[in-house]
Amino acid sequence: MDYFNFAYNFIAAKINYASYQAHAALTEHLLLNLTMILFLGALAQWLAWRYRFPSIAFLLLFGFMAGPVGRFIDPDKLFGKTFIPIVSLSVAFILFEGALSLKFSEVASTRKVVRNLVTLGAFITLVMAAAASYFVLKLDIWLSLLFAAILTVTGPTVILPLLRHIKPVSKVSSVLKWEGIVVDPIGAILAVLVYQAMITGEFESSHIFIMKHFLKIVSAGMAVGALGAAFFYTLLKNYLVPEFLQNPFTLALVACVFTGSNILMEESGLLAITVMGIMLANQKKVDVKNILVFKENLRVLLISILFILLSSRLRIRDFEYLNADSLIFMVLLIFVIRPVCVFASAIKSDMNFREKLFISFMAPRGIIAASVSSVFALNLVEAGHKNAAMLVPLTFMVIVVTVLFYSIVSPWLARRLSISNTDPQALIIIGAQPPVIKVALALKDAGIQTLLLDNNPRRIDDAVSLGLTAYASSIMADNIIDEIEISSYSKVLAMTSNDKVNSLAVIRFAEHFEKNEMFQIAAKLDTAIPRSLAGRQLFRENLSYLEFEDYFNKGAKAVNIPVTPEFTRADFEAKYGKDSLILFTIDIKNKLDVINAEYPKAWPPKIKSVVALVTGSI
């Protein structure tokens, strides 16, 4: 008996150890997969920033390599049945962040165009894309309608980075941003209606069903979204949510609104969170900027993860659906369907031909199309619609082609149509005191445009009388960002005599400029301003405004000095004296560099001119 017990315990121990080892190996495998997804997402975003190319291209590449090619990431095995809910909820967070940035003031003059694009334009895209799918791709009528409904959405996750890179005029930029965000829930609703009609199986009897279902979805989504916005507004207005809990509470509330709306009426959740975001963005009494900053960071993470996961679900065999017919379909989508949609939507608007043409060539598809197609394809295949497996590879074909095409063509087209400045060098200067005006005049002589902001009308009049562009306003005015064409400027220089105003200016423009693009005169040593709230120190380390002004009191002149490319900083100091203060350098490509406390002693190559405060003779 003792021998039997010993053998039993020995075998049981071996089994438990083997089970432990298998569990540990599985845990390590899952951990490695999750780590790889995060790493590849971060690497793709960094490469996109480094080479100024849409991140989606790198994300799709990495996803293809990790899934169809390498086969070391399998989202379905990794997440199981939770995969689709995770994707849906992530899309809701992304769309809410986009809606939270939509201001009605942005589209005051183009509201009709936006309205038409998301209604008439969506309908035109649906009809024409369905016809192209049916006759060119040889899909059946229902699958053609479903595919076309998915393609009515554009990709705000792709459009917004492209707009930051291209920097079109604000009218065009706001139309594209609004269309990209608002049309997403509309396209998703259209896809749901077609999907539901496919389930019923009868075309004639589906018309009344579709109309009733559409009204139910819109009513539920708008009602739940409005209630969610009102509830959150009340909480914030009455300080019932502490600041440190606002971001996690926002995520929880968005999830509740999205899920609750979907429970009330299936697939109304995206509309609900879009309505909620727009309402919160356009109220005036509660500040949601802190929430927006957090959501922007979350959006980058979620987009990175989702695109890698969704593209890694593809299989090599899926690419057999891509052929000459697919190419013809893409040509029709880009060169026929989109232009017809835009020009029809912009009839009798104040947009000129160049602006309409540019918008016609900016309609990349993104994460919404990818996620919606994945969800419906999976459900339809399980329901017995075998051809539905074509949806995902065809959708990813559209995403890849449109992203690459518009990323390459749109910047070039914007330059040709003269509606953008892809590499602006103009400066926003806070302050219009006499020394600052003199510096702005020297910059103008060097070919660099400036915009002076000051709340003193007399100073502004002095600047304007000298041929400078100036605007009388407080930096904290609600409408200041809307009043200026902010995409035309590359940097902000805070140069008032008030250290706190300078820091406020940096904070005010932080959502529109990177940290390395904002500068300010150094604060006085007795002014306690945290370094995190200040811009980079202008011209040299610890140069206060009083010291800067003292240069002029001692007879220094702000001048633009043309130089040869071989001219060095040592040559400048030898000719004009070490007491002269170098402010800016401009190279032969007209790229402006701001001299600052971190600036290297050696100048960049091929300098063509220097703006400086020269104390001696010129």
Q: What is the C-alpha to C-alpha distance for residues 610 and 319, in angstroms, rounded to an integer?
A: 56
Instruction: Report the pLDDT value the prediction gives residue 518, as an integer from 0 to 100.
Output: 82
Asked if residue 449 lies in contact with residue 442, where contact means CB atoms within 8 angstroms, the answer is no
pLDDT (tens digit, 9 = 90+) per residue, 360-381?
Answer: 998 888 777 877 777 777 777 7
Poorest-confidence range of 160-174, 194-208, 578-592?
194-208
Give me the percent of the chain exceeding a pLDDT of 70: 85
pLDDT bracket for residue 417 (50, 70, 90): confident
Instruction: Report the pLDDT value the prediction gives residue 342, as an integer from 0 to 100.
Output: 92
**Does residue 450 have a pLDDT over 90?**
no
**Does residue 113 have a pLDDT over 70?**
yes
Instruction: Report the pLDDT value the prediction gives residue 340, as an integer from 0 to 100.
Output: 93
The most confident of the ranges 149-163, 220-234, 587-601 is 220-234
Instruction: Report the pLDDT value the prediction gives residue 339, as an integer from 0 to 100.
Output: 93
Give me the percent of the chain exceeding a pLDDT of 90: 7
Query: Which two structure tokens, joined as six digits, stand for 327?
Result: 């190419």
Instruction: Report the pLDDT value the prediction gives residue 531, as an integer from 0 to 100.
Output: 65
* Average pLDDT of span 2-20: 53
Closest to 449 measured CA to CA, from 465, 427, 464: 427
**Does residue 485 have a pLDDT over 90?**
no
**Residue 206: CB partners within 8 Å, gap ≥ 6?**
197, 200
**Does residue 178 have a pLDDT over 80?**
yes
**Does residue 94 have a pLDDT over 90?**
no
Q: What is the C-alpha to C-alpha distance for residues 397 and 399, in angstroms, rounded to an integer?
A: 5
**Does residue 480 have a pLDDT over 70?**
no
Classify 120 as helix, strand or coil.
helix
Q: Which CATH number fits domain 426-614: 3.50.50.60, 3.30.300.30, 3.40.50.720, 1.10.760.10?
A: 3.40.50.720
Instruction: Report the pLDDT value the prediction gives residue 199, as an integer from 0 to 100.
Output: 67
Of 272 and 76, the structure prediction assigns the larger pLDDT to: 272
Instruction: Report the pLDDT value the prediction gives residue 132, as an integer from 0 to 100.
Output: 92
Q: What is the C-alpha to C-alpha distance for residues 113 and 570, in angstroms, rounded to an integer?
A: 56
**Does residue 590 have a pLDDT over 60?**
yes
Q: What is the C-alpha to C-alpha distance for residues 412 and 417, in angstroms, rounded to an integer?
A: 9
pLDDT (tens digit, 9 = 90+) per residue, 563-577?
Answer: 777 777 777 777 777
* Average pLDDT of span 163-180: 80
Domain ranges of the chain: 19-204+296-417, 426-614
Q: What is the C-alpha to C-alpha distance for residues 315 and 126, in angstroms, rounded to an integer?
A: 28
Residue whose token pair is 């040559």: 571
Poorest-confidence range of 12-16, 54-58, 344-348, 609-613?
12-16
Instruction: Report the pLDDT value the prediction gives residue 388, as an integer from 0 to 100.
Output: 74
Q: What is the C-alpha to C-alpha distance for residues 533 and 502, in angstroms, rounded to an integer?
A: 10
**Does residue 618 have a pLDDT over 60?**
no
Q: What is the C-alpha to C-alpha distance for residues 193 and 491, in angstroms, rounded to an integer?
A: 47
* Average pLDDT of span 258-278: 87
* Average pLDDT of span 250-264: 90
Name the CATH architecture for the domain at 19-204+296-417. Answer: Up-down Bundle (1.20)
How many other CB atoms sit within 10 Å of the CB of residue 465? Answer: 9
Instruction: Report the pLDDT value the prediction gives residue 337, as an integer from 0 to 100.
Output: 94
Of 130 and 586, the structure prediction assigns the larger pLDDT to: 130
**Does residue 35 have a pLDDT over 90?**
no
Closest to 398 measured CA to CA, from 308, 309, 332, 336: 332
* Average pLDDT of span 158-181: 80
